[in-house]
Structure 1
Amino acid sequence: MRVARVSALAVGLLILVLLLGFFLRTHLFAPAHVAAPDAPMMTRQNGSIVVRDGSPLQKRLVVTPVVSARDTTAMVLPAQVVPIPDHQVNVLAPATGRIMSVAVQLGQHVSRGQVLATIAASDLDQAWADDRRARAALDFAKRAYDRARGVLAAGGNAVKDLESARNDLAQAEAESQRTHQRLQVLGARSDYAAQGQVPLVSPVDGVVSTTNMAVGENITDSTAVQMTLLDLSSVWVAAAVPEDRTDDLAGNVTLDITFPAMPGRHCAGPMATLDPLVKPDTRRVNAYVVCPNSDGTLRPGLFASAKLNIPAEVSILVPKSALLMNNDQVSVFIETSPRVFQRRVVTIIYDEGDDVRVQSGLSAGERVVTSGAILLNDD
């Protein structure tokens, strides 16, 4: 009995030793587990940097396309409102004589065909008399021609008599046409003929800017200007450009106009024309822009300020955040294909603001790293 107990105890001790050995081998003396190293976030291949897909580096990079823009340079110039030349009309008296009435005054708006003044003109009386004689002669010549043609048809007249009557008719028609046109030139109207007067009529819609007429005054020179009318429905603004900047006026330039005396009033448009000569006193050339003036508030002589916008060449723009400085060189990283980047040396011009102009090294449409480029800069 005692031997059996000893045998059972020995077997138990053996089993315990075996279990303890297995535990020690498995947990204490087993070689430590070594984790597999992560793949690098970027590698170099043929001079380019390849960023691992899904890596933290890829998430830090912001890539945007290169944009191009047409820059403009601006000059602020002194300017002044002037009438458009073909909207300024000098009114002359159609005939010499005495001024009987003046129907308008300085600054008044007038309409086309409106009577400005009346003139008693002796030349007009002579013109009406010549016209009446010419009409009477024409009527007589027509009747003589009809009579000669009828007599010839009856066989009682020679052909030369009909030809003579036809010649007299042609001369009478020419004289009647001449006297009628003379009345038109003088501005004669039948409702003024009885008084021996000729009306001075406005040829355009406009404003009376100057007048030299007074009732009772004698007009002795038919070439003297009696009134000046301005059509101010639109005006020119003349911007004075320095002579050393006239070469910039080639091409499509625009003018932005403001008026210091009229806050809020603005006008803009392309340059309409340019003075052919430099003004000797200012050494400037006037560039003109047309401004609408339906309310008539833009009066000739009003001072203005003109900003002359001159188009420049198309520029490539990139954010300053894309630039990397390497000694004396400026470079950027461009994405040549998905997750593949290449350094590119560029020539730039610094501007105020967040962007710079690239003179060389980039083209519009290329994709540039605009944020996180410093993480690729491992040189």
Structure 2
Amino acid sequence: MAGRTHAHAALVLILAALLSCGAACGRREADNAAPAEEQAKAGAKPAAGHVAEGALCKEHGVLAALCTKCNPKLAPVFQAKGDWCEEHELPESICPLCHPERGGKPAADVPSDGAPADGTKVKLKTKDTARLAGILTARAVERQGGGGIPVTARIAYDALKVAELNARAPGVVQKLFVDVGSEVKQGAPLAVIDSADVGADRSRLAGAVARLKVAEENLKREEQLEKEGLAARKSVLVAQQELDAARAERASLAASLAVVGASAGGSGGYTLTTPLAGVVTQRRATVGRLVGVEETLFEVVDVSSMWAELDVPETELPAVSLKQPVVVEVDGLEGRELKGEITYVAPAIDPATRTAKARVPLANPGGALRANMFGRARILAPARAAVMVPRAAVQRAKTVKLVFVRLADDQFEARRVEIGAIEGDLVEVTKGVRPGEEVATEGSFLLKTETLKESIGAGCCGED
């Protein structure tokens, strides 16, 4: 790693030395051509839409508000930013002799994302500069892409078909009906649990039922007495309220028993059942064990379908979408291709692996797929013409991806690009590069470094 860093540093120094010579020569030619005052008077104007608006200093040919010769206190500000032309004692970015095309004004269309503008030119001092700096190029090629994105896969249970069952009320396990591996149907009994809480609810329910009968008889009697004129209407209303309260109490206790799967009759026991058909994959209950409502006693899984969880590299995500067909091959099932579609792509990247999860449901009628099996998957995409460049050609500046296209032996152009699928050492460029164009590969980071300086070499950086 240290050797690579030193090599990069050496290349930067070589390129900087060659380009600084170009900058000095360019400035001397500008000095000999005409002074700044004469250029301003001659009407040297910046390209439309390329420079900021504002009045020029007539004496020095720069934006009046930024003229450091008229306002010497501004000079330390530009010097601290590294924006200073020592030869002409003006800010480098607006120096009319170094940058006559800017007309003494700063560029107004400089992107705010910290990356060079699309089309920024890098002019080298000589045709040998790229060779001496170790900058290599390769041609962008057009080929049929979209054959498939290879990713790793892991088989998992369908989370929508997994039931974790715990005790509905605390108690003691009295009987077991199943063990791990048992196949069960929906509603099948798993265990009987004796619970004091259930017994108490049953007793209270029996008392509520008795009180309900008394309340019903009492209401009938009061209504009869009212008809005979022997009881007031108030007595009937009181009897009706007592009946309503008795009915509510009975319904509440019956509902409590129903929640735990216990009937109204019997002792304190209740039966734990499964809500879905499948296979018992876990059993933690044992006869005689005291269990609480917080612990899982059984796990039942429907394995008629499984999930293939794919690890998709973040660089491949632009080419992945929902309903995209996938072919999965699992270790241990060689020669068997399982087909499905992507139903989910995670919205987050794993910071450790730089991958995102994608999910593919797979039919499993014979039960051959098992949780935690590993394999490989190929995310399919329709074949299409794709422009491919070497991975080394793509540089990052903040969040922007750049490719440097060779225009001449001594000139490169920065292109903001969008990338698609990655196949080995090649990257698909979906926007920004045309087939046949030469792009910088090895050493392209040096060109990126120079574009971020805002000026280099004889021609500096600029846009058409």
- The gaps in structure 2 that reach 5 residues or longer are 1-143, 387-433, 436-464
> What is the aligned counterpart of 1:97 among 166, 171, 179?
171
SS at match of 1:235: strand
Q: TM-score, normalised by structure 2?
A: 0.50
- In the alignment, which residue of structure 2 is the partner of 1:214? 286
SS at match of 2:380: strand
1:177 CA displacement: 0.6
CA contact (8 A) 1:138 1:173 kept: yes
Letter in 2 for 1:210: Q
Letter in 2 for 1:200: L
For 2:351 and 2:213, the matched residues in 1 are separated by 63
- In the alignment, which residue of structure 2 is the partner of 1:248? 319
Q: Quick check: 1:138 aligned with 2:209?
A: no
1:295 CA displacement: 2.0
CA contact (8 A) 2:322 2:342 kept: no
SS at match of 1:133: helix
Q: Quick check: 1:285 aligned with 2:356?
A: yes
1:211 CA displacement: 1.7
1:142 CA displacement: 1.6
- In the alignment, which residue of structure 2 is the partner of 1:302? 373
1:314 CA displacement: 8.2
For 1:142 and 1:312, the matched residues in 2 are separated by 79
CA contact (8 A) 1:253 1:308 kept: yes
CA contact (8 A) 1:81 1:300 kept: yes
Q: Quick check: 1:166 aligned with 2:237?
A: no
SS at match of 1:310: coil
For 1:145 and 1:258, the matched residues in 2 are separated by 74
CA contact (8 A) 2:323 2:343 kept: no
Deviates more, 1:276-285 or 1:122-131: 276-285
SS at match of 2:224: helix
Q: CA-to-partner distance for each residue in 1:103-157, whole Å, 9 max, x for gaps?
A: 2111221111211111121111101101111111112112222222222233322
Shift of the 276–149 alpha-carbon distance from structure 1 to 2, 3 Å rule, reads: farther
For 2:350 and 2:383, the matched residues in 1 are separated by 27
1:226 CA displacement: 1.1
CA contact (8 A) 1:252 1:310 kept: no
SS at match of 1:280: coil
Q: Quick check: 1:275 aligned with 2:346?
A: yes
1:242 CA displacement: 0.7
SS at match of 2:332: coil
For 2:182 and 2:337, the matched residues in 1 are separated by 26
Q: CA-to-partner distance for each residue in 1:152-203, whole Å, 9 max, x for gaps?
A: 2333221111111111111111111100001111211467x24x32211111
TM alignment of 1:327-338, pairs within 5 A: none
1:73 CA displacement: 3.5
CA contact (8 A) 1:252 1:311 kept: no
For 1:215 and 1:280, the matched residues in 2 are separated by 45
Shift of the 136–313 alpha-carbon distance from structure 1 to 2, 3 Å rule, reads: farther
Q: CA-to-partner distance for each residue in 1:8-57, whole Å, 9 max, x for gaps?
A: xxxxxxxxxxxxxxxxxxxxxxxxxxxxxxxxxxxxxxxxxxxxxxxxxx
> What is the aligned counterpart of 1:85 among 156, 159, 169?
159
Q: Quick check: 1:204 aligned with 2:276?
A: yes
For 1:72 and 1:138, the matched residues in 2 are separated by 74
CA contact (8 A) 1:253 1:311 kept: no
CA contact (8 A) 1:90 1:225 kept: yes
For 1:150 and 1:314, the matched residues in 2 are separated by 93
Q: TM-score, normalised by structure 1?
A: 0.60
For 1:223 and 1:123, the matched residues in 2 are separated by 15
1:301 CA displacement: 0.9
CA contact (8 A) 2:173 2:194 kept: yes
Which structure features the higher share of strand residues? 1
For 2:384 and 2:242, the matched residues in 1 are separated by 74
Q: Quick check: 1:176 aligned with 2:250?
A: yes
For 1:264 and 1:157, the matched residues in 2 are separated by 89
CA contact (8 A) 2:281 2:301 kept: yes
For 2:243 and 2:383, the matched residues in 1 are separated by 71
How many residue pairs end up in the alignment? 245
1:234 CA displacement: 1.0
Letter in 1 for 2:187: G
CA contact (8 A) 2:278 2:301 kept: yes
Q: Quick check: 1:231 aligned with 2:302?
A: yes
For 1:260 and 1:297, the matched residues in 2 are separated by 11
CA contact (8 A) 2:205 2:264 kept: no
Larger Rg: 1
Letter in 1 for 2:325: T
SS at match of 2:146: strand
1:253 CA displacement: 1.6
1:78 CA displacement: 0.8
Q: CA-to-partner distance for each residue in 1:225-258, whole Å, 9 max, x for gaps?
A: 1111111111111111012222222354211112
For 1:240 and 1:289, the matched residues in 2 are separated by 11
1:279 CA displacement: 2.5
Over aligned residues, Cα RMSD in angstroms?
2.3
CA contact (8 A) 1:97 1:121 kept: yes
Letter in 2 for 1:153: K
CA contact (8 A) 1:241 1:284 kept: yes
CA contact (8 A) 1:207 1:231 kept: yes
Q: CA-to-partner distance for each residue in 1:295-352, whole Å, 9 max, x for gaps?
A: 222111112221101346689xxxxxxxxxxxxxxxxxxxxxxxxxxxxxxxxxxxxx
